[in-house]
Amino acid sequence: MTKTLFEPYTLGSLTLSNRIIMAPLTRNRAGPGFVPGDLTAEYYGQRASAGLLISEATQISQQGQGYQDTPGIYSQAQIEGWRKVTSAVHAKGGRIFVQLWHVGRVSHIDLQENGAAPVAPSAIRAKTKTFVNDGFIDVSEPRALKLHELPGIVDDFRKAAANAVAAGFDGVEVHGANGYLLDQFAKDGANVRTDAYGGSIENRARLMLEITAAVVEEIGAERTGIRISPVSPANGVSSSDAQAQFDYIVDQLDALGIVYIHVVEGATGGPRDATPFDFGSLRRRFGNTYIANNGYDLELATSHLTEDKADLFAFGRPFIGNPDLVERLQTGAPLAQINPATIYGGGAAGYTDYPAIAAASRR
């Protein structure tokens, strides 16, 4: 039988209505206390026809924040704010995971407690910018994390996973991609440590794997996924041994039994083939669900599904302007274009005011 993107799919104990995933999309619209509000609940509820929604990256602590007005999941008020979001999605029959985030060195002193330096595996400043004080500016100089601090970060992820379940999420996605903390540890361009978390492939993978194992222990493997980006140069990271590094990482993730890996294939938001890499190797090494991400449209996703290169396919920016993206893809309706000026920050404009095709046709 021919597989299609629009058929149900079993993900762990969940039945997804289709194989189309809404990728995490940072929108910088959290309210005071970094709490998601009613507008956020409306936004995700509008997009609940995706097989699975993965929330915007959500910091596990204040130290883990790297951009202004991004939501957290470490306070009771934040848990209650997210509960409105999950309720809105579930009311429409949707499923939603939260993406748990620590940005590491991709931050600014204005976002850190008492103006402290951001933390990183090594004191190497990222060649990238962050969004703070209503504009994009260079990140601050980081300090290297001390060995005794790492168990605390593992515990922050564990607590965040427990908070996610309390908030009604169907599961969590550990953010191990795009040049943030766990990716910084994994890649030798950002990690020059000489202790148990640096040097060898196994050591550089250690923090990512310890955190994933802690989340599994807290909420179960069938509720735990992870996002990785083996060759993406996002936020200034680089790796001299990406294939060996991520083959090893995926072997260990498979052993943990987590429900999915979510793989950014190529450069995040850029070329899929910028750096040679065998993503098929990751697919073969991982026994559960493989979510493919980066530059997918209906044609490419259909082709890769037919060729069994992936199980599920994540779409990012198209979901911003098309809350009913699944229906548009299924019916061949044209896709709305997004307004780049309203992606980050602001209110309803460019967030919840993009109409569904049925509403648009009545105008």
Report pLDDT digits (tens) over 292-326: 999 999 999 999 999 999 999 999 999 999 999 99
CA distance 253 to 228: 11
Q: Is residue 36 part of a domain?
A: yes
Name the more confident of 134 and 328.
Answer: 328
> Which residue range forms the structural domain that includes residue 315?
9-361
CB 111 within 8 A of CB 68: yes
The pLDDT value recorded for residue 362 is 40
Which residue type sits at 76?
A: Q
CA distance 93 to 91: 6
In this predicted structure, the answer to whether residue 358 has a pLDDT above a threshold of 90 is no
187: number of Cβ within 10 Å: 26
Model confidence, pTM: 0.97
CATH code (residue 257): 3.20.20.70
CA distance 320 to 210: 33
In this predicted structure, the answer to whether residue 111 has a pLDDT above a threshold of 90 is yes
Handedness of CA 13, 17, 18, 22 (dihedral sign): negative
Bridging pattern class, strands 135-138 and 129-132: antiparallel
* Average of per-residue pLDDT across 193-214: 98
In this predicted structure, the answer to whether residue 211 has a pLDDT above a threshold of 80 is yes
In this predicted structure, the answer to whether residue 154 has a pLDDT above a threshold of 50 is yes
For the stretch 55-75, pLDDT in tens is 999 999 999 999 999 999 999
Q: Is residue 320 part of a domain?
A: yes
In this predicted structure, the answer to whether residue 360 has a pLDDT above a threshold of 50 is no
- pLDDT band with cut points at 50, 70 and 90 for residue 2: confident
DSSP track, 181-217? HHHHHHSTTT----STTSSSHHHHHHHHHHHHHHHHH
Q: Is residue 53 part of a domain?
A: yes
For the stretch 130-145, pLDDT in tens is 999 889 999 999 999 9
For the stretch 219-272, pLDDT in tens is 999 999 999 999 999 999 999 999 999 999 999 999 999 999 999 999 999 999
Q: Is residue 246 part of a domain?
A: yes
Q: Is residue 138 part of a domain?
A: yes
Give me the catalytic one of 9, 74, 180, 296. Answer: 180
| 260 catalytic residue (yes or no) | no
Say what percent of the chain tops pLDDT 70. 99
Rounded to the nearest 10 degrees, how much is the dihedral formed by the CA atoms of 177, 181, 182, 185?
120
Q: Is residue 3 part of a domain?
A: no
Q: Is residue 185 part of a domain?
A: yes
Handedness of CA 210, 216, 218, 223 (dihedral sign): positive
* Average of per-residue pLDDT across 119-138: 95
- pLDDT band with cut points at 50, 70 and 90 for residue 339: very high
CA distances in angstroms from 89 to 51, 53, 359, listed in the order given = 11, 9, 20
In this predicted structure, the answer to whether residue 363 has a pLDDT above a threshold of 80 is no
In this predicted structure, the answer to whether residue 115 has a pLDDT above a threshold of 70 is yes
Q: Is residue 274 part of a domain?
A: yes
N-to-C CA span, the chain: 40
Total structural domains within the chain: 1
The pLDDT value recorded for residue 265 is 98
| Mean of all residue pLDDT scores within the chain | 96
Say what percent of the chain tops pLDDT 90. 96
In this predicted structure, the answer to whether residue 18 has a pLDDT above a threshold of 60 is yes
